[in-house]
Structure 1
Amino acid sequence: MPSTVPAPAVAPLARIVQGSGPGLLLAHGAGGSARDNWGPLLADLAAHRTVVAPDYPGSGDSPYEPGEPTLDEYADRLVAAADEEGLDTFDLAGFSLGAAVAVRIANRHPGRVRSLLLIAGVAGGSARQSTLTELMVGLRDRPAELADLMLTVVLGHSWVDALPADQLAALREGLRSPLPAGFPQQFRLAARTDVRAELASIAVPTLVVGAAEDMLVQPSQHRLLAEGIPGARFVELPSGHLPMVEALPQLREVVMEFVKG
């Protein structure tokens, strides 16, 4: 039977549920949503798994909630979503902040997680990342400046430099879109998250996917996850922080190998 998770005194998280078969729980990144971060892979994943992909509060279809969330809260509420969808055990994939959420789930809910997939993940302990996060949150009401910063640090330079001028202009305009209400909370949580001390206790097969040109969550953070988890396998893709945008074919190949394995 699923482990008991205390019911939160708030509405359940909105989620995408697709497919059939063994469970796969997905944790998205800060400032993203289930569809933003996992959308390009959902159809492939759902062909092999029952996919449950919740939205954090203030992202996607989950309403904003005041206050500062904790990693424990995110972890428990994602597991509560898995419980509500009838998943006993599940494979668990996390992107960016979601990778740290996944590590916390594996430690707080032992026996539920069959395997881990961590993509461009936050490990913690980076003063540079904390400073960059504060800068990005501080620019949330200045969309043009925030868009230029995101273009510089979120997307890999090789991919951006190869864009034709019209596509680059469209990208810059797209980055000025309204931010999700939970953006500041989620980025502040990413800045203060540190799961390095928890990695050695992970006892399930783990695949860590790094992004070689990531300047938001630097590749050293991805390697910390791989080096800290016993027996973890490490694969690095030629992209910035968004391999689902910049290196989708390569990411799909790696992710499907994980799912089928």
Structure 2
Amino acid sequence: MAEQTMRPTVEHVIIHGHRRAYVRAGQGPVLLLLHGLGCDHTTWAPVIGPLAEHFTVIAPDLLGHGDSDKPRADYSLGGYANGMRDLLTVLGIDKVTVVGHSFGGGVAMQFAYQFPERTERLMLVAPGGLGPEVTPVIRAITMPGFHQAMALLTMPGVRHVGAGGMRALARTRLPLVRDLDEVATIYESFADPRARAAIRHVVRAVVDWRGQVVTMVDRAYLTQAMPMCVVWGSADQVIPARHAEHVATVAPDAWVEVLPGAGHFPHKEHPERFVELLREFAHRTPAATYHRGRWRALLKNGAPVPAPVEATASGPTQVSA
């Protein structure tokens, strides 16, 4: 499939007094695409067009990002999940397959947890919430002085040199710098003090100086009632791809795909493969149907307890209960 880039018109809606920006394209089953920290809907530009040939695509700018308002507000995962529910309600959309990248993956998981009756499937792209490790650059946002230091680093002359240097390094395609073109865009957005303040609130809600503090691992067993796919790049420098290995333990029915050599933005590096994966995932898995009794039973029973492992001369074996 040849790469297609679509630039649909950005639309706006006022919810709770704040302007929310989003793009809408295509027809068919609805995909809700949630971007990562400091990004906006344009991170999905390489895949919106091809996906819109088969789906209705809704790609919002999360509050505090892009063209959406950046108020002093609730920037928790729960707050974002509520915001997505309200946006979909205003747009007249009842159910979605939710796709979340990085921090947006955390929002997607929270949305599926809070609103299972509105979630058909869950696709996570290099998501937060599956382990504590995260790049020191993100941890630095939580430190005192970040706001003031970034104000100096985003002054016009400094910002243009810094962003230009990042994009030049990204064009070398070296593994450690392959994602710097996207990082440059995030860095430029920090010139807006409202954006810096919003991002600081977002990060402090999910990360401290030691790493990620919010996890979905303790609730992953709930995906027994919902199809889940996890996509990662093997060369991710932001959130390590080894977190994908945790999925097999906490959600053994999930579909896990690690793209060799890809970085933190596999949907941008390999848009054709990403679209193929998402289409196949949507077509091969039946949409989840919320049933209150089943959800109650899952919550009451909790996560399955792994069978103990007994060492033998021929190696470990599972001991039946």
The corresponding residue for 1:4 is none
Structure 1 residue ranges without an equivalent (≥5): 1-6
SS at match of 2:75: coil
Counterpart-to-counterpart distance in 1, 2:281 and 2:109: 17
The corresponding residue for 1:133 is 138
Counterpart-to-counterpart distance in 2, 1:55 and 1:178: 13
Question: Could you tell me which amino acid in structure 2 is paired with residue 91 of structure 1?
Answer: T
Question: Could you tell me which amino acid in structure 2 is paired with residue 195 of structure 1?
Answer: M
Q: Count matched residues.
A: 246
Deviation at 1:170, TM superposition (A): 8.2
SS at match of 1:17: strand
Counterpart-to-counterpart distance in 2, 1:95 and 1:168: 14
Counterpart-to-counterpart distance in 1, 2:119 and 2:183: 39
- Structural mapping, 1:1-261, within 5 Å: 9-11=16-18, 13-35=20-42, 37-67=43-73, 69-126=75-132, 128-129=133-134, 131-136=136-141, 138=146, 140-141=150-151, 142-143=153-154, 159-160=173-174, 177-179=188-190, 181=195, 182-191=198-207, 192-202=213-223, 203-225=225-247, 227-237=249-259, 238-261=261-284
Question: Could you tell me which amino acid in structure 2 is paired with residue 116 of structure 1?
Answer: L
With 14-23 and 59-68 compared, the bigger mean Cα shift is at 59-68
Evaluate the alpha carbon distance shift between residue 34 and residue 174 of structure 1 in structure 2; reply closer, same or farther with a 3 A threshold: closer
SS at match of 2:253: coil
SS at match of 1:91: strand
Deviation at 1:135, TM superposition (A): 1.7
Deviation at 1:130, TM superposition (A): 7.4
For the 8 Å contact 2:179–2:264, the answer to whether it is kept is: no
With 105-114 and 182-191 compared, the bigger mean Cα shift is at 182-191
Evaluate the alpha carbon distance shift between residue 108 and residue 240 of structure 1 in structure 2; reply closer, same or farther with a 3 A threshold: same
SS at match of 2:97: strand
RMSD value, Cα: 3.6
TM-score normalized by structure 1? 0.79
Higher radius of gyration, 1 or 2? 2
Question: Could you tell me which amino acid in structure 1 is paired with residue 202 of structure 2?
Answer: Q
Counterpart-to-counterpart distance in 2, 1:122 and 1:162: 20
Counterpart-to-counterpart distance in 2, 1:233 and 1:43: 24
Question: Could you tell me which amino acid in structure 1 is paired with residue 230 of structure 2?
Answer: V
SS at match of 1:199: helix
Deviation at 1:190, TM superposition (A): 4.1
Counterpart-to-counterpart distance in 1, 2:205 and 2:271: 27
Structure 2 residue ranges without an equivalent (≥5): 1-13, 208-212, 285-321
For the 8 Å contact 1:13–1:54, the answer to whether it is kept is: yes
For the 8 Å contact 1:123–1:225, the answer to whether it is kept is: no
Question: Could you tell me which amino acid in structure 1 is paired with residue 200 of structure 2?
Answer: P
1:83-140 Cα distance to aligned partner (Å, 9 max, x none): 11211211111111111111111111122111111101111541x4275423256363
Evaluate the alpha carbon distance shift between residue 117 and residue 168 of structure 1 in structure 2; reply closer, same or farther with a 3 A threshold: closer
Deviation at 1:32, TM superposition (A): 0.6
Counterpart-to-counterpart distance in 2, 1:228 and 1:252: 26
The corresponding residue for 2:304 is none
Counterpart-to-counterpart distance in 1, 2:182 and 2:87: 33
TM-score normalized by structure 2? 0.66
Counterpart-to-counterpart distance in 2, 1:244 and 1:26: 11
Identity %, equivalent residues = 24
Deviation at 1:223, TM superposition (A): 3.2
User: Relative contact order: is structure 1 or structure 2 higher (C-alpha 8 Å, sep ≥ 6)?
Assistant: 1
Evaluate the alpha carbon distance shift between residue 177 and residue 259 of structure 1 in structure 2; reply closer, same or farther with a 3 A threshold: same
1:188-242 Cα distance to aligned partner (Å, 9 max, x none): 3442432221211122111100111112111133333454224101000121111
